[in-house]
Amino acid sequence: MIATAVKELIGLFVDDELLAAAILVVVALVSALAFFGAAPGWVIGLVLALALPAALAASVLRSARRAVRSE
């Protein structure tokens, strides 16, 4: 019973595991670039501005394909 409640609680925040993983990878990459000074600030902002919406779009397309297949 408690395990089910915990699963449901986590499900409120992480509905799509692949999207959550993609966001974590992008943020880790950007933070590494910023930490080591490998890129100027505008590049880091640009990577975030492009990669996060791309991850969201990929997740939406994946969900749409799954919904079409299940019909």
Which pTM was predicted? 0.74
CA distance 3 to 58: 30
What lies within 8 Å, CB to CB, of 43 at 6+ separation is: 33
CA distance 26 to 9: 24
Tens-place pLDDT, residues 16-68: 788 888 999 999 999 999 999 999 999 999 999 999 999 999 999 998 998 88
Q: Say if residues 22 and 58 touch (Cβ distance below 8 Å).
A: yes
Q: Say if residues 26 and 47 touch (Cβ distance below 8 Å).
A: yes
Q: Say if residues 23 and 52 touch (Cβ distance below 8 Å).
A: yes
